[in-house]
Chains A and B, each alone.
Chain A
Amino acid sequence: MTAPRTTAVATVDDVTMRFRGHTALDAVTTAVEQDSITGLLGRNGAGKTTMMQLLTGHRVPTSGRIEVFGAQPYENDDVLRRTCFIKEGQRYPDHFRVQDALGAAAMVFPEWDDDLAASLLRDFDLPVKRPVKKLSRGMTSAVGIIIGLASRAPFTLFDEPYLGLDAVARQLFYDRLLADYAEHPRTIMLSTHLIEEIAPLLERVLLIDRGRVLLDADTESLRGSAVTVTGPVGAVQAFARQHDPLHTETLAGSSRAVVRIGGAADRRAAAEQGLTVEPTSLQQLVVAMSLQTPATRAPIHPVDLEEVSS
């Protein structure tokens, strides 16, 4: 087991962000570990983009404190030069060609790698002389991905980086991200709805819903932390009651429930009670947790989550 790391690139301390009429983030506290890939997950409107805007100084929290590289990011060039935020729907100046956008990025990111940018341009097959404005949705996303990867910024954030990208291009993104990350470890935060695809890349997961943190854990311990049990209604209910049921569906006398468990012993217990036990993928877990209404939500015990992987 690796020792718990104490170095955080970014800390979010009791941060609340209120807009007129609604609260986008509500007393959020978390930390982003150095040299890790974190998935920022949650439904539309959960507060993912707001979180990234706060981390990159694009917004200032209503209350609470944000620190990146030990300082507040807002209008802080020293922090910003080490940060790269590729946001969904980034606007490019009308007259900028692909090469102009990349050239500008090359000027301002100290760790920029021209060779990497060039090879990514070939991978994504982008026409460098075409105005970014004339590119398709997917190609525009690819420009953002190239800037994000080639910047090699010590803290890189991708907000829904692959809108409009086809499956091949997304695979390319994952592969190139992993390859470059392995060579040049850095801190990466990614928000996405395509959890299934990205899950194996993630080291940590931060799940937010309605502005609150639902999960803040290491992905591997999450993978063993929930099971889907199927069987007679009574047996499923009995098992679920002993643990932490997230979501239950019933049809013709049999039920299927996603249940948070403590470890392998619980899994065996379920099998011995005559239930069919299947592992739950990260995506299923995230969906089940997000579907819970706030009232039925059990308090989160982070201790439980860490126990599973032993």
Chain B
Amino acid sequence: MNRVLRAGRMHLVHPLVILGIPWLVVGISFAINVAVWHLTPAGEDDGGFSGGILALYITVLVVYVQAVTQLLPFSMGISLSRRTFYLGTALVAAAQALLYGLSIAVLVAIENATDGWGAGLSFWAPGVFEVDDVFLQILASGAPMLAFMSVGIGIGIVHQRWGQTGTWGLMIGTLVFFGGLAILISLLEAWRTVGDWFADQSTLALTAGLPLAIAAVVALISYPGIRRVVP
């Protein structure tokens, strides 16, 4: 356990990388959105929201891809097992997701209190992701974050284990899978059923349950992959 904590600490050697860059990116995105909302009538209709926060989630994903590709070879170089590195990384991801959820919940509260930064902007919890309870908001913002981290770790592992070829294969495979799924749903004329299914789900199931399930499934698939990495 001790070694797992130490493996986790290795991610925080330069916290600016893992914490600072995502907030820098989303900060810029936020500033642009606030400016646009103030200059244009975008926020005049009720429910005007921006997808700008996606920048934060995607940057975090990239950070975690790099966390694996950069730190895994070094961690193994100083005699940490793959499992220890994996658990340490998962621990940091879980803690960070919680922290990010908390931060976003606070920002959502400010957003709501200031009438969308004075411009009716719904930036930090757009659309379905906005829930009415602070604690649930932490979950609704944090759980998708964990899913993005898990996917990032998964991509990093594929890159470490199967190289460039593996990464491209993963991207093409994912595209083919979802494309095939879309064609299948079209052939079965089942789009309405799919839509109904989503509509039937509670907000919490969509914003927290589904992302947490994705995070867990990706994590379970990634683990056998990391066990086969040769640094």
Q: Are B6 and A96 within 8 A (Cβ)?
A: no
Q: Are A57 and B77 within 8 A (Cβ)?
A: no
Closest to B18 in A: A95
Q: Are A75 and B82 within 8 A (Cβ)?
A: yes
B77-106 to A contact mask, C-beta < 8 Å, 1/0: 111111110000000000000000000000
Question: Cβ of A57: which chain B residues have Cβ within 8 Å of it?
Answer: 81
Q: Are B227 and A108 within 8 A (Cβ)?
A: no
Q: Are B74 and A104 within 8 A (Cβ)?
A: yes
A83 within 8 A of B: yes
Among candidates B14, B79, B230, residue contacting A95 with C-beta atoms closer than 8 Å: B14
A26-57 to B contact mask, C-beta < 8 Å, 1/0: 00000000000000000000000000010011
Q: Are A109 and B83 within 8 A (Cβ)?
A: no
Bound-state Cα–Cα, A14 to B35, Å:
70
Question: Cβ of B78: which chain A residues have Cβ within 8 Å of it?
Answer: 84, 104-105, 108-109, 147, 151
With contacts A104-B13, A108-B3, A108-B6 taken as known, whether A87 is within 8 angstroms of B77 at the C-beta atoms is yes
B1-37 to A contact mask, C-beta < 8 Å, 1/0: 0010011011001100100000000000000000000
Q: Are A80 and B81 within 8 A (Cβ)?
A: yes
B71 within 8 A of A: yes
Q: Are A100 and B231 within 8 A (Cβ)?
A: no
Bound-state Cα–Cα, A149 to B39, Å:
63
Nearest CB of chain B from residue A94's CB, rounded to whole Å: 6
Nearest CB of chain A from residue B79's CB, rounded to whole Å: 4
Q: Are B74 and A76 within 8 A (Cβ)?
A: no
A70-107 to B contact mask, C-beta < 8 Å, 1/0: 00000111001101111100111111100011011101
B48 within 8 A of A: no
Question: Cβ of A94: which chain B residues have Cβ within 8 Å of it?
Answer: 70
The contact sample of 30 A-B pairs, CB cut-off 8 A, is: A53-B230, A57-B81, A58-B76, A58-B230, A75-B82, A75-B83, A77-B83, A80-B80, A80-B81, A81-B79, A84-B78, A85-B79, A86-B77, A87-B77, A90-B74, A91-B74, A91-B231, A93-B71, A94-B70, A95-B13, A95-B17, A95-B70, A96-B74, A100-B13, A101-B74, A103-B13, A107-B6, A108-B6, A108-B78, A109-B79
List 7 extra interface pairs beyond A53-B230, A90-B73, A90-B74, CB under 8 A: A56-B79, A84-B79, A91-B73, A91-B77, A95-B17, A96-B74, A103-B13
Q: Measuring CB to CB, which residues of chain B are less than 8 angstroms from any residue of chain A?
A: 3, 6-7, 9-10, 13-14, 17, 70-71, 73-74, 76-84, 227, 230-231
